[in-house]
Amino acid sequence: MNRVAVVGGGWAGLAAAVELAAHGEKVTVLEAARQLGGRARSVPWDGIRVDNGQHLFVGAYRETLRLMERVGSAHRLERRPLDLRVPAFRLRLPTLPAPWHLALGLLAAHGLGVGDKLRAAAFMQALKRQGFRLDRDLPAADLLARHRQSERLVDRLWAPICVAALNTPLEQASAQVFCNVLRDSLAGERADSDLLLNRGELDNLFPGPAAEFVRLAGGEVRRSCAVTAISRPGAGFHLAGADLDADRVILAVHPARLPALLTDLPELADVIRQVETYAWQPILTLWLRFAAPVALPFTMLGLGGGQSPWAFARDDLAPGLVAVVVSAEGPHLRRDPDALKKDYLALLAEAVGPLPPLLAWKRIVEKRATYACAPDLPRPDNATPLPGLYLAGDYTRGDYPATIEGAVRSGVQCARLILEKS
């Protein structure tokens, strides 16, 4: 039996721990914060607990769904066929088998001319013919321009999808990762494009049930337990701060935290060099609590094209609660919070009509929400040059951008590498 330590109780670390625990390993999770979940967690506000930022799941998140089934929380996601609504545009995918769902959905889309629809279909066909692989990576904006996607098509369809998935403006985003996202969502099985909306607190969606699963399997989850350094005194590892020795370590921290933790391990110098080239992208969420429910025409509503905010009805957390979310960098971050709130209230009222009185509001900015998903970004492998030390997290090598599914897949992969060697 290995003694496996997982450093970091975000979704990657907890995914690794659940996978190991399910295969009989006694694992110890060490989490620096008082709570689990990392960048996808609940925070207390106004007598309730809201998400640190609205999280959206899609049907293609297969590993996430598998692990949620395992820990008994998958029922907390509400499945709906894709329905993208922004002012003057709507793409709704019918419940038909692939590829008819996309073909007919595009054909019936509101707010696009026939030429736009044909160009969008031709773009998807061209990507399909080349297996969604590009000869070389380039900015997503350049790929769309090469495929003669009109300004309206980009603004209403491609930019909202790219910015939501990659959290990076189109001009800076990796076209290859954008293609991967399109392959697994719009061009996947019909159910892959479904939206999965979390109902209830984010903590209860996976972090809490995952920790309970690990404990019931004989493992341990320590909170408020920051690892300060990792060394290799002999065959195994010593984790300073937690005062723990382990045969195997899965390091599942935010990539910005790696350099400080790896200073005593020269074998990891290349990994440090890679992550030190990363730039970060923020996500802003404005929580609005109204005196009565706001009738959004669909749970999720775009308030403009391009990189504009999206509104989410969150009556499941409290009646009259709405989250307004803006991905990636932009002038909204420099706007005075009170003025920004007024701007977004005006956009919301324009979309749904007069709003009930506002009781409370809160602005949350996650400055390092994700790495900027740039073309050819170097991403380290899960296995490192140091036997027994593994890296998990949304930044490790994989098809996905910085997302829950990317994080979960990386954790599961680390667990499998350890199990193969047991």
Residues lying near ligand FAD in the complex (CB under 6 A) are found at 7-13, 30-33, 38-40, 52-53, 55-56, 226-227, 252-254, 257, 261, 283, 285, 366, 369-370, 393-394, 402-405, 407
Minimal distance, residue 162 CB to ligand FAD, in Å:
14
Q: How far is CA 344 from CA 83, 133, 387, in A?
A: 22, 38, 51
Proportion of the chain in helix, strand, coil states, percent, rounded to 5: 35, 25, 40
Closer to ligand FAD by CB, 45 or 103: give it: 45
Closer to ligand FAD by CB, 112 or 369: give it: 369
Token reading at 159: 């930019």
Supply the DSSP symbol for 201.
Answer: -
277: which residues sit within 8 A by CB, 6+ positions away?
A: 377, 378
Closer to ligand FAD by CB, 152 or 381: give it: 381
| Residue 418 three-state SS | helix
Extended strands (E) in 235-295: 237-240, 244-246, 248-251, 280-290
Closer to ligand FAD by CB, 106 or 209: give it: 209
Minimal distance, residue 155 CB to ligand FAD, in Å:
21
**Cα-to-chain-centroid distance, residue 230:** 28
Closer to ligand FAD by CB, 11 or 390: give it: 11
Minimal distance, residue 35 CB to ligand FAD, in Å:
8
Q: What is the H or E stretch that residue 102 is in?
A: helix 100-108
Token reading at 371: 């790495």
Closer to ligand FAD by CB, 261 or 294: give it: 261
| Residue 363 three-state SS | strand
**Cα-to-chain-centroid distance, residue 270:** 26
**Beta-strand pair 27-30/4-7:** parallel
Cα 422 from Cα 418, distance rounded (Å): 6
**Cα-to-chain-centroid distance, residue 312:** 16
Q: How far is CA 95 from CA 58, 61, 186, 191, 301, in A?
A: 15, 19, 13, 8, 20
Closer to ligand FAD by CB, 13 or 160: give it: 13
Minimal distance, residue 42 CB to ligand FAD, in Å:
12
Minimal distance, residue 28 CB to ligand FAD, in Å:
11
Minimal distance, residue 370 CB to ligand FAD, in Å:
6
Minimal distance, residue 253 CB to ligand FAD, in Å:
4
Minimal distance, residue 402 CB to ligand FAD, in Å:
4
Closer to ligand FAD by CB, 56 or 359: give it: 56
Closer to ligand FAD by CB, 46 or 280: give it: 280
Supply the DSSP symbol for 357.
Answer: P
Minimal distance, residue 180 CB to ligand FAD, in Å:
14
Length of the chain: 422
Cα 212 from Cα 71, distance rounded (Å): 8
State the amino acid at position 182 in one-letter form: L
Minimal distance, residue 303 CB to ligand FAD, in Å:
16
Cα 105 from Cα 95, distance rounded (Å): 10
Cα 256 from Cα 249, distance rounded (Å): 18
Cα 176 from Cα 197, distance rounded (Å): 26
Closer to ligand FAD by CB, 123 or 237: give it: 237
